[in-house]
Chain A
Amino acid sequence: MPGWKTLFPVDLAEEGRLSRREFGRFMALVATGFSAGIGYLALRKRPLDGAPEPAAVPVEVKVCRAEELTPGNSFLFTYRNPQDRCILINTRQGWRAYRQTCTHLGCAVRWDGKGLECPCHNGYFEVERGFPIQGPPTRPLSRLAVELRADGWLWVRGDLPKPGPEAA
């Protein structure tokens, strides 16, 4: 027997065999890898590429005067930069502000008097909370808080909404 065979006693027939235990261990390590990935996301201070920068100070934007926005109408505005197009709606129950980007593929949603519709794939969002009720979108629209101040102006504030694919 060659000397290397005593040093490396590998049985070629058994070499390619993967036992159930070994497969289970590999899959458990894969599961641990996902945990490590989530841990990395939790520990990482800088935002990922494409993720919005966290605002150092709360962002507040003056949008329009309250009397300009009659019930049932909407007003388009940009929130923090030109890519963050948002829509302010007077719903008769109150004001609602959302990012105008559909959570499906990033088309601009529009107010049709009852809800927010995405013309690209017939997605539809209810106006009270921005939840999807029709079509392919599964996540609600990014929402901003609306405040009527004593001077009669409507202000919006909140986390910076997600940039849409058109901004990427």
Chain B
Amino acid sequence: MKKSLENRIGAGYSFLAPAIIFYSIFFLFPVIFSLLVSFKKWNMLIPFTKAPFIGWKNFLDLLKDELFLMSLRNTLLYALLTVSITLTISLFYAIMINKAKFSVFWRFIYFAPVVTPQVAIATIWGYLYNPNNGLLNAILRFFGFKGLNWLTDPSTALFSIILTAIWAGIGGSMLIFTASLKNIPQEYYDAAKIDGATGFKEFWYITLPLLKPTLLFLSATGLIGAWQVFDLPYMLGRNAPAKSVMTVSWYTYETAFQYLRMGRASAGAFLLFVVIFVITLIVLWIFRKGGIKGYE
């Protein structure tokens, strides 16, 4: 009996082994290694073992670096605005499309940006934002307004990038909302109608509470992704003053691979990890307050 149990445990671990090995090599080891790097002054050009240990200096230097603090502020702003606005608009579109004819067609149209590479999106939006020949300024000027320096003016550059990110992100969230909406039983709405509920009350008391698990999932994954954002700000914001558009991932990349300050870059990556972890916990706490209701 005991031997049979041991065999079964052994078999279990052997099935788990590929995943454990994979995660150990490609996740656990890099995480532990970069934590060690964050306490050293290392430029990758000398052996890691010869790099001097400098304690918390990398972390302290980061907290004194105005550019890092501004990149934290920019990333926070980017994350909060993109996630909240994207979710609001995509929920609105999902509800509209759910009731509309040709919903597959509309889903395809709104989902197209999600499968478009970010580099292509950045290039196209770069043309749209061109202050002299771009479409957006042409529209503004047509209505008698002054054109904007969308991507070079420090007061508009980050918001222009956020606008692009919202446009690019709506489709993905909308698709998940549409799937969740289809799962809400029609009986709830029928019963509410009998009780005299209007469209808004149906949304507020039935749709929204039952979409809470989806909202939790999209908020948590959206915030995690937004905190790690690199490509759009890097591609669109390079001509703007760095303090107005730089994100933490961009800062980390530049510090590591252009300045070869691997220790400081790793410290930045760890601070980013802590921030994402705390924010994810807060999101979980907010959504779980009062329980997450399912509908089955």
Q: Are A and B interaction partners?
A: no
User: Which residues of chain B have a CB within 8 Å of any CB of chain A?
Assistant: none
